[in-house]
Structure 1
């Protein structure tokens, strides 16, 4: 017998944060919240365990959305550094070219 495999769903960091908050702040069972949200109980359980592990290690609470934003900002920062390096090299090139042109004109 053939069964159709379900496609893997991707959840936004904000969605994960809200689901974990429902479990942590209300004190309801993971199974109950997972059933209400229509997600797998084990998935929500992993999100809650990861949240609790982060808090037990004394780390400041960094939400999934903050983590995603941090990754985006790091990539953007790296891109800006590359742009800056390119512009710096270009300005040096054009400054040399301009000074060479001025030397030739004065002769």
Structure 2
């Protein structure tokens, strides 16, 4: 049985590099975080090369925004359907 890969948020990756910089010791920061020192070195290099574009996550921001808007639309459609049912129940003649 293989272990699943851990996934870290872009904020966590930046914080890991900042912690290593604050401690002045990547190995100690890696031990504290439970990751390899090589990973911190790699992330530091990515930050240096890409700056604010480092660690973009899964997909681009446009796709994430489209997915968010689709979820919001689906939620709104469900709310409208519920309200239509409620109006039908309230406005129906009582027996």
TM range (shorter): 0.5 to 0.7
Q: What's the TM-score once normalised by structure 2's chain length?
A: 0.53
Instruction: Show structure 1 runs of 5+ residues with no match.
Output: 56-60, 81-107
Q: 1:30 aligned to 23, 26, 29, which one?
A: 26
Q: CA deviation at 1:48?
A: 1.0
CA-based RMSD of the aligned residues comes to 3.2
- CA–CA distance in 2 between the matches of 1:10 and 1:77? 22
Aligned length: 68
Structure of larger gyration radius:
1
Q: CA deviation at 1:20?
A: 1.1
Any idea what SS the aligned residue of 1:34 has?
Answer: helix
Residues 17, 63 of structure 1: 8 Å contact kept: no
Q: 2:60 aligned to 56, 71, 87, which one?
A: 71
1:7 — aligned with what? 4
Q: What's the TM-score once normalised by structure 1's chain length?
A: 0.48
Instruction: Show structure 2 runs of 5+ residues with no match.
Output: 70-95
Question: Which contiguous aligned blocks of 4+ residues in structure 1 show a shift greater than 4 angstroms?
Answer: 77-80
